[in-house]
Amino acid sequence: MAIIQNEKRSERFEVAFNRIHSWLQRITRNGTTDKYSELLRVNYAKHSIIRKYYHDLKMYGRLRNSLVHDKIALDFYIAEPHEKVVEKIEMIASQVSDPKNALEIATRPVFYFHEETGLIDVLKIIQKRAYSQFPVYDENGFKWLLTSNCIAQWLAGNLLEGGKALEDSNISDLEYLHSQRFVEFAAKDSDIFTVEDIFEKYHLESRKLEAVLITETGKPSEKPIGMITPWDLVEIDAME
């Protein structure tokens, strides 16, 4: 009976390992190797789940090699992984197979405005919620991203130069300050790996992505139901 149980643990471990290895191969862009340890290395900065379990995943690679090399017959292993090790690798394999939905880490609700909205209305939201980014929409959908930095810059210049009164100012007065702020869109059923891939793409292109807006089907013409910023991804690491 003990031998059968040992075989089952080894088989369970190998199945879970192969699921993780296959996932690493799928997410690796322009991969030049299928080597497990190299796939871990190149994807380390890309996905929080790899960073969270990195040392475990490295150890699993060594253990898997030992299991495979010590197999003396079909479905018969000499090496035996501990039950807790098997349970943990199965848990990680489950997470990469069924990843967290992006909306789970998104900021909600999203406060968005039209350009004719008074600037005072935005300042009230900042005061109550401490939000710092606000999508601006017109009748066709998303147009640009208003940030608290834009607002601070406009207020400073307006006060020093004796410009337009705050109560008479609209969001449209600030559009010239937003410069080129990159925003991407994702559907509400997107997983966290999809969003991390989007941020990684911009990083590799040396461009700063301000936010990923979550909409019903990922179209800019749809109302935002969630917003993910680089800081949200940092918070995932901090919480985990």
In this structure, what CATH number is given to the domain that contains residue 182?
3.10.580.10
**136 plus 231 within the same structural domain:** yes
Domain that holds residue 61: 2-94
**Which position has the token pair 């690679």?**
61
Estimate to the nearest angstrom the gap between the alpha carbon of 164 and the chain centroid. 40
Last residue of a domain, one of 45, 64, 94: 94
**145 plus 203 within the same structural domain:** yes
Whole-model pTM: value is 0.77
Question: Can you give the pLDDT of all 240 residues of the chain as single tens digits?
Answer: 444 455 588 889 999 999 999 999 998 877 678 999 999 999 998 898 999 899 999 999 999 988 876 565 555 555 678 999 999 999 999 999 889 899 999 999 999 999 999 999 999 999 998 899 999 999 999 999 999 989 998 988 887 777 788 888 999 999 888 777 899 999 999 999 999 999 989 988 999 999 999 999 999 999 999 999 998 887 765 555
Give the number of domains in the chain: 2
* 125 within domain boundaries: yes
Structure tokens at 150: 């834009």
> Is-contact 233 102, C-beta < 8 A?
no
**36 plus 134 within the same structural domain:** no
**130 plus 62 within the same structural domain:** no
**125 plus 225 within the same structural domain:** yes
Count Cα atoms within 13 angstroms, Cβ side, for 205: 10
- List the alpha helices (DSSP H) in 104-191: 119-129, 148-161
* 140 within domain boundaries: yes
* 99 within domain boundaries: no
Q: In what order do the strands lie in the sheet with 113-114?
A: 113-114, 133-138, 141-147
> Is-contact 214 226, C-beta < 8 A?
yes
Among left, alpha and beta (phi > 0; psi -120 to 50; other), residue 206 is left
